[in-house]
Chain A
Amino acid sequence: MSFLSNIFARRQQSSSVAKDRLQILLAHERGAGEAGESDLIRQLHKEIMEVIARHVAVDQDKVQIKVDRGSGCSMLEIDVEVPQQLSGKRVS
């Protein structure tokens, strides 16, 4: 932004950002073969939904499963919006 940062803190070249992004992406796509990783996530998704449904009546749309694939590890984030009445009682 500032005058000084422009001169001294040479920003990372956009091409090296591109290379890093591609390496992460391709490592996952190649490793996954045809659809390995997505199949795993889909299976997880299904089973997690089943477990949740066994205990609370939540709308399927209120369960979000997200991934963030990194170079070292990937994050699997599960976001469940629990109905009001339950969230008070059952959090223990």
Chain B
Amino acid sequence: MAKVLVVTSGKGGVGKTTSTAALGAALAQSGQNVVVVDFDVGLRNLDLVMGAERRVVFDLINVVQGDARLSQALIRDKRCETLSILPASQTRDKDALTSEGVARVMDELREKFDWVICDSPAGIERGAQLAMYHADMAVIVTNPEVSSVRDSDRIIGLLDSKTQKAEQGEKVEKHLLLTRYDPARAARKEMLSVEDVLEILSIPLLGIVPESEDVLKSSNVGAPVTLAAPTSLPARAYFEAARRLSGEKLEVSVPVEKRGFFDWLFKRDA
């Protein structure tokens, strides 16, 4: 049975697109068929983070409006053949996405893939609600700071009321992904702690992704961090998160660097 997963946050810039790409590539590397869908109409960026920007012909809106078949809009990743991307439109506005059209595309995606991962736009308006409507599961991306936690709380409220699952009296399975976590600042108590955030939001923790330059380097070269730097700390956090999403029970660890002298010597300039 296909799983539809929305990656959402309310607040902008917390790491949704990064996480969609990284989790998608991690799940795909375990042999499952994965599609990542960009719902950020007008401001698409998932194609860029995935390195597919030169290959976009058709997009989600073309498929929703019936101008293209789904198979013609899907772009298969060149590095991982079980990973595909459905890009958003860069030029059209988001009103072009009708609820019925999106429902039809989601049904078709469910048939083709094991995982359908929807990258939500920021905000709590229609775009974010369309991205979450069909979800079975949600990854709520949160940074350990007050406004992000507050917005996550809003989003959790929407997941419990404005989704198809909610309308049917069921629950969307919710997971908290703490990103851009800085262990040094946390140790100095300059940042909300993991426990603080969990206590406030009270949803289960999927993983802790550290603030890391490997994320920036990966997006520079157009690859999810789980493909470009699979042994880096953020990638390891995403791989573990992906295993938890697949149902494995794993203890969540706080990521800390254990670098030897030689790692330091040779990894400086990458």
Contact = CB atoms under 8 A, between A and B. Distances in A.
Contact of B221 (A6, A18, A34, A69): A18
A31 interface: no
B220 interface: yes
Contact of B57 (A11, A14, A28, A65): A65
A20 B6 CA distance: 31
Contacts of A3: 266
B69 interface: yes
A70 B53 CA distance: 11
B71 A11 contact: no
A21 B222 contact: yes
Interface residues of B, number: 26
B72 A64 contact: yes
B91 A35 contact: yes
Contacts of A64: 71-72
B69 A60 contact: yes
A69 B54 contact: yes
Interface string A48-81: 0000000000001100111111100000000000
A25 B54 contact: yes
Interface residues of A, number: 29
B55 interface: yes
Contact of A68 (B54, B91, B269): B54
A3 B54 CA distance: 34
A42 B67 contact: yes
Given A18-B221, A64-B72, A24 B91 contact: no
Nearest to B51: A21
B48 interface: yes
B270 interface: yes
A76 B137 CA distance: 38
B57 to A, nearest CB: 5
Contacts of B220: 14-15, 17-18
Given A17-B220, A69-B54, 20 more contacts: A10-B269, A11-B269, A13-B269, A14-B221, A17-B221, A18-B221, A24-B54, A29-B90, A38-B91, A42-B57, A45-B57, A45-B68, A45-B72, A60-B69, A64-B71, A65-B57, A65-B72, A66-B55, A68-B55, A69-B55
Interface of A: 3, 6, 10-11, 13-15, 17-18, 21, 24-25, 28-29, 34-35, 38, 41-42, 45, 60-61, 64-70
4 shortest A-B CB distances, which residue pairs? A18-B220, A14-B220, A69-B54, A14-B217
